[in-house]
Structures are given as structure tokens and as C-alpha cells.
Structure 1
Amino acid sequence: MAATAVIKGPVIGIRHLQTLLLFFSILVNYAGRLNISVSLVAMTNADTTNPDFHEFDWDEKQRSYVISSFYWGYFITQFPGGYMARKFGVKATILMATLGSSLLNIIVPLCVYWGGWQIYCGIRILQGLFQGMVFPCVHEHLAKWSPIDERTRLGGLSHTGIECGTIVAMGLSGIIAGSSLGWPGISYVFGGIGIVFCVLWMIFADNTPSEARFITDEEKIYILTSQESAGGNDSERKIPIPWKAIFTSIPFLSLLSVRILQGWGFTTMQAQIPAYLHGVLKMDIKSNALYSTLPYLTMWILSNVYLIAADIILKNKWASLNVTRKTMNTIALWIPAALLIGIGFLDENQKALAVTFMTLNVGLNGGQTIGSSLNTIDLSPNHAGILMGIVNSIANIVPILTPIAVGIIVYDETQRTQWQIVFAIAAVLFFLGNLQFLIFGTTDTQPWNDENFIKAESGLNGRKTSETHERNLSKANLEVY
């Protein structure tokens, strides 16, 4: 008798629409937060952009406080963000986060005229509080909407919003700052883009396949049966969180460590590229904005290369998911570590080589999304949002410290030797972070992902998972081979 084929749903379906929406949610929030790296230069050096607008006399330490203040709020709401996604749904939580951050962007020009850099820090803290909820929601949404065979593909595609958001922030900010809108226009444009996204999100986003309005039965069955086979839960039933098991899990602690150490190197480059190009390589703001986007354009391109390569490798079973993730993460961290050391020995007479190194450094680092970022969903689909909340809560203390550390080390941004120290620290942390991930990390779903884990730990017989699985398969009336 011929075997019944597995129903996989439409090639392009509502799961892809949700992925696209996640991509844009990351893009608009990243663009809204990262335009600061260009706008702050324009606000404090008006002659390089549009001298018709007010220039603020803020020193390097004050500017570093403005940059880092976003993360003072950002790390606080990562953990609550995972809770809110479970309690109120991803749709409501991302809407609130993006709308709040966008409105705060719009009021920046008005507030800084009378409140100075201190009020700017306050606004950035509030923006961080709102945006801190986004990534736990993204991982919670991916866990609900990604069939197991498409998890890497859909997760990678949504996370390319990071690179695109950075490209848009740095590229468009420089153009706006030099236009008749001046630096205030940066806040107005990015705030407006965020509000437009919120309207689209309200119309098309759905929390789960079960409650989606436009999904076909075929696609719904495909996603739900795949989720069940991976130990996922699409129902409204709340699963107890095994806190002790999570915080004593070696694979989870390894993931946490690599994200912390990777974050230091990445945020060093992300926040400081404009200052380095301006101070050491003597580039003006317009060239600065152009060259600042090149690394992230490369990162976006290479992220898709990583994604396609991982998809081909996994589809053809050339390597396991575990080996694939670790290989991608090694390329993404160890090669940039070497490039960081090299960058520190270049000066304004080697602009082309410096820009090439910086471009490759940031571009290659895009592989960490496939390498380690999506590992929260591997370890526990049922607790992916909570895990991401924990990881980002702790890891995002780093971006608070990085600009402050740079401000202490680099007291004269024209001095290459001071930047060498900054880059060397980042390189060492890149190397150590990946090394321990190679040793202790894994993609195996952890025992504490099971919804009955806590009952089982208490000696109770939890049969609900298998019963739910059988019920869903019976309802679908499928034979899966």
C-alpha cells in the first residue's frame, strides 16, 4: 500500500506573512533605536550636516550616556516581555512596544531643546523599556508559527530585520540630517514609519495558527502537527515555568554566556563605528553615514548566505543542526575577532583597508543569528519567549557598559592607540564566548520543555502531552510517515 504523503500546507502561507511582520517589527524598532549613532553626531557637529539647526555642546562622556541610556530601560523589560507575550499575546505586546517607542521618537526634538542631554537620556530609557519586550515576543511568535523543519529558515528571515534596520537607520539618517529637515527630521521620519507599521500589525498579525483569521485548514494542520512532534504547545493552556531546571541547565547557561560575550563585541562596533570613522579616519558625516551602512548591508547579504547554506545543509542532511549552528557561530565570532585586532593597527592613510575590515567584521558576525540566537527555540519551544527574555535581560546589561567603557578608554577619539584597546577587549570576548559554546552548547530539546516536567519531577504521572498529541492527530485525520 502506498504511503500517504505528509501534508505541508501552501508553499507561501500565513506563517510566512507572520515572519514578514516579525521582520518589519525588528526593522522599525532597530531603526528607531540606532539612528542615534548618526543623529547625535549631527546634533553636536552641525557644520557637517545642516548648520541651520541648533548645535549642542555635549562632550564625549555625555554623548556616551545618551547612547547607553536606551539599554538602561531595555534590559529591564526583556524578562517581563516574555511574561506579557504569554499573558496578553504577542500581537498586543508588540503593538504596545512599537507604538510607545515610535511616539517617543517623535517628541525628541521638542524635548531636547529645553531639557538637554539629560532629557534625551530619559526619553531613551523609556524607549528601551518599550523595545525590551520585542525580542521575547519575536521568539515566542516563531515558536508558535514555525514548523520544525522551517524553524531555522523562518527564524533567520525574521532576524534579518536587524541588519536592514541598521542599514535604514544609518543610511537614511545621514541623508535626512543633511537635508532641509535637519537632525529633527530623523526623529519625525522614524517615528512615523513605526506608526505605519503598527497599523499593518494590527490588521494582519495573529497570536497562533489556531486563532488566525486567514489561514487555511491545510496549513493549520501542518503547523500544529509539526509543533506537537517537537513538543510545542499552541493552546491557550499556560505551562508552568521550570525555573530551577532552566537556571541549572548547562546548555542554557552556555547560550547565555555566548550571547553576553558576543553582545560586547557587536555593540562596540554598532554604536562606535560613526565615531571611529569621524575621529580616526577623518570622514565627514555624509561619507560617514555611507560607510557606516556598508558593514550592515554586507551583514544583511551574508545573513542570507548563512541562511541559505544552513537550509541546504540541513535539507540534505550533510550535518546535524547542532554541528551547523556551531559552525556558523564559529565563523561569525572567530574571524571577526581577528579582524578587530587588525582594525586597531590602521589609520587615516589606510581608509580603504579599515573600511574593508570593519565591513567584513560586522558582516560575518551576522552568522550568530543562525549560530546561537535561535537556540532558545531549540532548547525549549514552549518557553522560547521566557528564555529569550532571560538571555536579553542579562545580555543587554552589556550595551549599557560598552559605550561607558569606550568613553573612559577613548578620551580622545582621534587617538588610534585608544581604539586598539577597545577592539582588543572585544576580540578576546568574541573568542572566549564561542569557545565555551562549542564545548557546552547543544540544540537538543531539553527535558524541562515538557509541559508536565514539574509534575514529573514531583512524582506525578503526566500523560497530557501524549494525549494531546493523539487528539490533534486524530482531529487532523492524517497518516504521517
Structure 2
Amino acid sequence: MAITPSEGVDSSVIRINSPAHPSFYSVHSHRFIICLLLLLATYFSQANTLGMSTAVVCMVNSTLVQDPHNENVKEPKCAAAHNESTPEFAIPGSFDWSPSEQSWLLSARFYGNCLTVAVSGAAADWLGPDRVLTGGLLLSSALIVLTPPLAHASYYALVGSRVVIGAADSFHVPAINSLVQRWYPAAGEKAVAVSIYSMGFQFAGGFASLFASLICGSTFLGGWPSIFYIFGGTCCAFAVAWAVFGSDEPAKNRWVNEAERSWLERSSIKIKSKARKEEHPTPLSTILRSAPLQSILICHFSSWFATTMMQTFLPLFLRDLGLSIDLIGWLTLTPFIAQIGGKAVSGPLIEYCVRKERISMTNATKLAQTISSVGCSVLLALLAFIPSCSNPQIACPFLIVYGLLFTGSTNGAYTAMFLISPKNMGTISTLTAIAKIAGSLACSAVVNAITAIDVPYKWALVFAVTSIVLCGACIHFLIFGAGDSLLFIFMPKSSSGD
């Protein structure tokens, strides 16, 4: 078995540069509609998780449960300001879960991810991404709606439901990745599609938590239960909409017009059914030995290391600066909102440059990844040392620029994932999902270890480790990364000896 750049080129992989192909941005383009639907699918998958993170604050009676973090402010310059200015909020929730029980509840979804992540990519390939995505969303939405009665019935029943939701959610990303592979044949158009649909992560991070916090204290449908009724109900409605307008591939979709269908049939990557997979299987050992894939996995690890740090631990850093709860909430949203704007510009820009042949797709992905990793590392250094208790608001512009630069990782290694080996998209999606989980776990372990040490400037250490991880992954991708399938081909075993 060999991996060579000069043999075995899949003739179905076609780079589209012809101006005659149907416009992506058109009222007649069902590809654009599919992309928006994938954005919503990503949003609902993330929003269901973030909804619980916000709702648990309202579910627990804070007068009965003490937050241990209030006693752990170690920064010398901020301890006094924190103790004097941070108000205490008494939330009369329904439950008296301890901090440990709250932590287990919020992490239960992760353990559910671990149960199914190894088979999620294969399921998308064998059962079809359309069925996998629809089934996963319907199961998740049903359990989200049942969250309030489960919470009142038993804490352990609620934790079990979150585990099942996590197991179902593991199938969403591989299914979405497979759909992107089937619907968007041109390399540049893939970059646009990835930039658009992945905005769902930022919309969820930026608005789902805010929306949940706004309705958390209301009296509508009992207050906090309305979060789950609304989130679960809208997710179920979306799953029905996807079943109507979505499909595994353009050939099966009745909403695609004839001109678009004809172009897609001529230029799309022809992903065959189970029979083709059995005819030309790619051994996992061959995939794992591939340096370009290894670089993508390392970049996914580093990206989710940084993402977990921002999503989970940024509020603690801002709290240690002595900021109010309201200001912490808005500042936490800032980098995710900035990422939405960055993706709206970077994806089309790369597509234009590649289509005009001003840069190769491989060089485009490497340039985007470098700007993201190096730029974010610099911003983390500034964020660690410049904001203080006397000028905490100065963190806002740093977070905005950080969010804009972080979008480069989407157009870098994340886009390359769709291009290096189309027929192995399911397996690659599973491996990148494992890298994502590993990055999140590693970030949590590093932050917990550093904050447990009684030393000043602990957040500077956290940001320094994050910068090292980002830059190390960037160097590996610059050397070994690839953004073109012609540079990275898995060759099946020769049948001459059979």
C-alpha cells in the first residue's frame, strides 16, 4: 500500500473555476438554502447544551449552596477589588444540588459524547447523513422538552438524559460534515459553506446563553422550564424542516432546479453507497500514519483547547478582574460575535482568491491557520498583562480582535479536513471529534492544575500554555498540512494477489 501524489487521482474530484456554474448566492440556489439549514443544525446542537449551562443557575437555590469560587481569588492586584465590589445574588431556585452535583450535570453530555464518538462517522456514511442528523435532533429535542419533569422526578434521571443527549449530539457534526462534502464540489465553495454553517457555533455561544438568561427569571411557563420547552420545541420544528428541505445529496432533493442539479451531477464528488466502501476500504492504520491528517487533528486539538478556555474559563478570568455579573456576560459574548463577522468576510474572500487562481487551496489554508494561531497567541499575551482591576474594560477590544483572528482556524485546518480525502470523510470526522474532546479535556486539566497552585498571575500561565499549544499546532500544519486532495490520497490495497 502506498500514498503518492502522482497516482490514483480520483477523477471525480473536480476543481470548479468555470463562471458558467450556478451562483451560490442566489434565490434559486438550493445549495445556499442547505448551507443555512446546516447553520441552524449547528446552532441547535450547541444551544441545547448552553441552555442547560445557563438554566442550572436558575434551577439551583443559591441561598442554600455556596459557590467555592468566591473564596479562590488569588491575584494580588484583584483580590481586594473583587471582595469589595462583587455583589452577591440570591437566586431562589427549586433544587439544592451541591457544586459537585452541578458539575456532574453539566459534564454528563461530554460522557455521552465519548460513548458514541467512535461510531458516529461510520454511521453517517452507512446510514446516510440525512437520517443520522434528523434522528439525532429529534431524540435530543424530545429529551430537552422532558428536562423539567425529569429534574423534579430524580436528579439521576436528569443526568442520564443528559448522557443520552450527548450520545445523540456526537452524530451531528459527522453528519453535517458529510453533507458539506456531498453538496459542495468546488474547493473554494467548501470554504464558503464551512464559514457560513460553522457560524452556528458562534450564534449559539453569543445568543443562546443570552436568550436563556433573559427568560430564566420570567414567569412564562414556570420560569426556567420555559428554556427547555422553547429550545426543545424549536429544535424539533427545525428537524421537521430539515426532513422536508434537506437530503443526503442533490440527486435526491426535489427542490433543486434542473440547472443546478445538472451542474452538480457533472462536478460533484460522487460518494457511492455501502458497496463502494466495501470495495475500496481505507485501513485506519493508513489514515493515522498520514502526516497531513495528523496536522489537521493537532490543529483541531489546539482550536478546541482555546475554544474551551474562552467558553468555560473566560468568565472566571473576568470575575477575577472584579467585573459585575452583567458585564461579564456581555464581554463573554464579544469574541463569539466577532467571529461571526470574521467568517462572513474570510470565507468569501478565500473562495474568490482560489477561484481566480491567485492562491492555491493548500497555501490559503496554511495562511489562514497561521494568521489565526499567531494572532490569537499575541492577543492572549496582551489580555494576560494589560487589563487589570483599574481598567478591566480594556479587555473588550482585545476580545473583539481575538474573535476576528480566530476565524482563520475555520478557513485553515477545518476547511482542509473536507478536502484531503473525500471518500473517508466519515472516518476523518470521527477522528477530529476525538481530537476535539481531547483538546477540551486537556484545557480543563491545565486550568484546574494551574488554579490549584497558590501563585500570582495564574491566568497569565493559562494564556501562555494556550499560546504554546496554538503555535505548536500551526508550525506542524505549515510543514505537513494540505488543502488539496491531489496532495493527499489514500491508496487502496492492490488486488493483484487476490
> What is the TM-score when the length of structure 2 is the normalising length?
0.81
Residues 298 and 448 of structure 1: is their aligned pair in 2 closer, same or farther, counting only changes over 3 Å? closer
Question: Which of 376, 389, 392 does residue 336 from structure 1 map onto?
Answer: 376
What is the aligned partner in structure 2 of residue 418 from structure 1?
458
Aligned residue in 2 for 1:323 = 363
User: Which residue of 182, 201, 206 maps to 1:144?
Assistant: 182
C-alpha contact (below 8 Å) 2:321/2:392 kept by paired residues: no
Pick which of 152-161 and 75-84 moved more: 75-84
* 1:172 Cα deviation from its structure 2 partner: 0.9
Moved more, 352-361 or 294-303: 352-361
Q: Is the 8 A contact 2:61 2:92 kept in 1?
A: no
Match of 2:495 among 434, 446, 458: 458
**Residue 236 of structure 1: CA displacement?**
6.3
CA distance in 1, matches of 2:268, 2:409: 24
User: Residue 146 and residue 263 in structure 1: after superposition, are their counterparts in 2 closer, same or farther (change >3 A)?
Assistant: same
- Rounded Cα–Cα distance in structure 2 between residues aligned with 1:427 and 1:420: 10
- Report the CA distance shift for 1:193/1:433 in structure 2 as closer, same or farther (over 3 A): same
d(CA) in 1 for partners of 2:116, 2:487: 27
Give the residue type in structure 2 aligned to 1:219: E
Mapped to 2, the partners of 1:176 and 1:436 lie a distance apart of 45
- 1:443 — aligned with what? 483
The 1:147–1:313 alpha-carbon spacing in structure 2 relative to 1, beyond 3 Å, is same
1:173 is matched with 212
Deviation of 1:57 (Å): 5.0
Find the aligned partners of 1:199 and 1:237 in 2 and give their Cα distance.
30
Aligned AA for 2:178? E
* Aligned-partner residue type, residue 459 of structure 1: S
CA-to-partner distance for each residue in 1:117-172, whole Å, 9 max, x for gaps? x6554333222211111111111111111021422112221222111122222221
Say if 1:280 and 1:347, in contact at 8 Å, map to a contact too.
Answer: yes
**Deviation at residue 425 of structure 1 after TM alignment:** 1.9
The corresponding residue for 1:430 is 470
Of 391-400 and 207-216, the range deviating more from structure 2: 391-400
Counterpart of 2:110 in structure 1 is: 71
What residue is the counterpart of 1:311 in the other structure? 351
2:146 is aligned with 1:107: yes
Q: 1:425 to 1:69 in 2, by over 3 A?
A: farther
Cα pair 1:294 1:359 within 8 Å, conserved = yes
Q: Check whether the contact 2:60–2:93 (CA below 8 A) recurs between aligned residues.
A: no
Change (3 A) 1:106 1:144: same
What letter corresponds to residue 54 of structure 2 in structure 1? V
Distance, in Å, in 2 between the alignment partners of 1:53 and 1:441 is 50
Moved more, 357-366 or 242-251: 357-366
Is 1:125 the counterpart of 2:180? The answer is no
- Distance of 2:242 and 2:456 partners within structure 1: 45
Tell me, yes or no, if structure 1 residue 32 matches structure 2 residue 70: no
Residues 420, 488 of structure 2: 8 Å contact kept: no
- Correspondence for 1:209 among 250, 256, 259: 250
Q: For 1:372 and 1:167, how far apart are their aligned partners in 2?
A: 23
1:304-352 CA-to-partner distances (Å, cap 9, x unmatched) read: 1211321232233221111111111112222112222332333333221
1:66-465 paired onto structure 2 within 5 Å: 66-113=105-152, 115-116=154-155, 120-148=158-186, 149-181=188-220, 182-228=223-269, 232-233=270-271, 237-239=275-277, 240-243=280-283, 244-284=285-325, 286-345=326-385, 346-410=387-451, 417-445=457-485, 453-455=491-493, 457-459=494-496
Deviation larger for 202-211 or 356-365: 356-365
Q: Provide the rounded CA distance (Å) in 2 between the counterparts of 1:99 and 1:167.
A: 24
2:54–2:212 contact (8 Å) kept in structure 1: yes
Match of 1:8 among 21, 43, 49: 21
Shift of residue 196 of structure 1? 1.3
The structural deviation recorded for 1:62 is 5.0
Q: Percent identity?
A: 21
The letter for the 2-side match of 1:396 is I
Aligned to 1:472: none
Q: Tell me the alpha carbon deviations over residues 71-100 of structure 1, each in whole angstroms, 9 at most, x when there is no partner.
A: 222244233121111222111100111122
Distance verdict in 2 for CA 1:15–1:50, change over 3 Å: farther
Q: Which amino acid aligns with 2:496?
A: G
CA distance in structure 1 between the aligned counterparts of 2:58 and 2:215, rounded to whole angstroms = 10
Q: Distance in 2 between matches of 1:54 and 1:368?
A: 41
Write the distance in 2 (CA, Å) between the matches of 1:38 and 1:204.
32
Equivalent residue pairs, number: 447
**Shift of residue 24, structure 1, vs aligned partner:** 0.8
Determine if contact 2:300/2:435 at 8 Å carries over to the other structure. no
Per-residue CA distance 1:229-254 (angstroms, 9 max, x = gap): xxx43566432331232111110111
SS at match of 1:397: helix
Greater alpha carbon shift after TM alignment, 246-255 vs 161-170? 161-170
In structure 2, runs of 5+ residues without a counterpart are 1-17, 64-87
C-alpha displacement of 1:28: 0.9
- Please tell me whether the aligned partners of residues 333 and 434 of structure 1 are also in contact (alpha carbons under 8 angstroms): yes
Q: Out of 375-384 and 29-38, give the one that drifted further.
A: 29-38
Q: 1:200 to 1:139 in 2, by over 3 A?
A: same
CA shift for structure 1 position 33 = 1.5
Alpha-carbon shift at residue 437 of structure 1 (Å): 0.8
User: Does the alignment pair 1:20 with 2:60?
Assistant: no
CA contact (8 A) 1:378 1:443 kept: yes
Counterpart CA distance in 1 for 2:249 and 2:408 is 28
Change (3 A) 1:426 1:123: farther
1:362 Cα deviation (Å)?
3.4
Whether the aligned pair in 2 keeps the contact of 1:263 and 1:398 (CA below 8 Å) is yes
Q: For residues 471 and 162 of structure 2, what CA distance do their matches in structure 1 show?
A: 31
